[in-house]
């Protein structure tokens, strides 16, 4: 591997940096989603929504205390601001959570684009080197010419390899974000409907009393 790396020429160093950064981002995101999966508690989300249906806000506070589930944190943000703007509060909290889920994905996306371009750049440099040697020494030293061609092929293969191996986890992480967004929208919409029904019931009760 070291011999192949050295034959690839100077472009192999930025390609090495791209591969290290890509691997670091992939590992960090895998750990992030593993941690978030452990924190998810859908039964508790359902229980909180049921308590909201009857307007038992104190029980909601007790149940949600200490929870690190991102859906629960968003719902609690809306509940705390229910008398002012529940929807706006949940939108802001949702934006913060989604931003946290998308962290470093733009870096991975950039590396997927840049790595093949660096490989092509290395290819061009290798071919230029081969033609320079061919022009100065003719075909008397074919091994020198083939060295430049080898450099061209190695950098291209490396750049494509980095991009191919990075695109699968990138798409996976994007799908996880989309799935999380759907879950957030479902829960927040349910809370808004339940709160409107509760207010409507309270208003009808007041009218009947009067």
**Do 32 and 70 contact (CB within 8 A), yes or no?**
no
Residue 107 has pLDDT above 90, yes or no: yes
pLDDT at 102: 95
Separation of alpha carbons 118 and 21, rounded Å: 15
pLDDT at 84: 84
pLDDT at 38: 93
10: helix, strand or coil: coil
Q: How far is CA 105 from CA 51, 52, 136, in A?
A: 37, 35, 47
Residue 199 has pLDDT above 80, yes or no: no
The DSSP-derived string for 128-176 is HHHHHHHHHHTTS-HHHHHHHHHHHHHHHHHHHHHHHHHHHHHHHHHHH
pLDDT at 209: 59
> Which residues in 11-45 are b (16+ Cβ under 10 Å) and which e?
bbebbeebbebbeebbeebeebbeebeeebbeeeb
Q: How confident is the model at residue 210 (pLDDT cuts 50, 70, 90)?
A: low
pTM, entire model: 0.84
Query: Using one digit for the tens of pLDDT, what is the confidence trace for 27-67?
Result: 999 999 999 999 999 999 999 999 988 888 888 888 888 88
- Across the range 171-189, mean pLDDT stands at 94
- Across the range 96-120, mean pLDDT stands at 94
Residue 82 has pLDDT above 70, yes or no: yes
Mean pLDDT over the full length of the chain? 86
**Do 176 and 169 contact (CB within 8 A), yes or no?**
no
Residue 123 has pLDDT above 80, yes or no: yes
Residue 208 has pLDDT above 60, yes or no: no
Separation of alpha carbons 22 and 28, rounded Å: 10
Separation of alpha carbons 16 and 122, rounded Å: 13
Dihedral sign for Cα 14, 22, 101, 168, please.
Answer: positive
Higher pLDDT, 41 or 136: 41
Q: Where are the domains of the chain?
A: 9-112+166-202
């Amino acid at each position: 591997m070291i011999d192949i790396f050295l034959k690839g020429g100077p472009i192999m160093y930025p390609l090495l940096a791209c591969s290290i950064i890509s691997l670091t981002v992939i590992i960090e995101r895998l750990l992030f989603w593993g941690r978030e999966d452990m924190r998810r508690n859908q039964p508790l989300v359902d229980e909180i929504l049921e308590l909201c249906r009857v307007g038992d806000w104190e029980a909601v506070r007790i149940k949600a205390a200490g929870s690190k589930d991102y859906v629960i944190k968003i719902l609690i943000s809306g509940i705390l601001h229910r008398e002012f703007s529940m929807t706006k509060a949940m939108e802001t909290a949702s934006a913060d959570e989604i931003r946290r889920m998308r962290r470093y994905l733009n870096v991975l996306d950039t590396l997927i684009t840049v790595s093949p371009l660096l490989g092509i750049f290395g290819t061009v440099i290798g071919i230029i080197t081969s033609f320079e040697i061919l022009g100065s020494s003719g075909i008397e030293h074919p091994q020198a010419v083939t060295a430049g061609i080898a450099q061209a092929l190695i950098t291209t293969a490396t750049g494509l390899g980095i991009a191919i191996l990075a695109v699968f986890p990138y798409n996976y992480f994007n799908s996880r974000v989309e799935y999380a967004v759907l879950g957030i929208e479902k829960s927040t919409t349910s809370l808004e409907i339940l709160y409107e029904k509760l207010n409507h019931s309270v208003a009808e009760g007041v009218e009947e009393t009067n």
